[in-house]
Amino acid sequence: MDINDILTYLPHRYPFLLVDRVLSCEPGKRITALKNVSINEHFFVGHFPHFPVMPGVLIIEALAQAAAILSFKTMNTRPDDKSVYYFAGIDNARFKKPVSAGDQLILEVEILRTMKGIWKYGARAKVNDAVVSEAELLCTLRAI
């Protein structure tokens, strides 16, 4: 999926859209997506200007956005203005290596289970095949 397709599956927009491309997607199973990390990112201005590092919470958010695309593709629907896809929990988050400007962040998310409207995912972010972050994510779609 290119950026135009992604924009139909995520309500996020600049500067908070953190998925640039979907490399593969198996609805009901897994997704692999890409975030190009550029020195032009707004967070680098204040997040260690002498050593620009992508904040860990934004890596987790990028993984959650990939998870949302996977969920909408699995449900064969798209987001609308009557609902929001929320975080319900983040478990076992680990940050193993810093992510810097120029890195390509590969986002790998798999559905572990769904129960009563709660989706649980196993999520990993990699740079050059090295895991930089991982977590279990819980998300839910709720009417507003």
The residues that are catalytic are: 47
Spatial separation of the C-alpha atoms in residues 115 and 129, rounded to whole Å: 32
Nearest CA-CA partner of 102 in 66, 129, 127, 123: 127
CA atoms within 13 A on the CB side of 66: 35
Q: What angle (nearest 5°) sits at the alpha carbon of residue 37, between those of residues 23 and 19?
A: 40
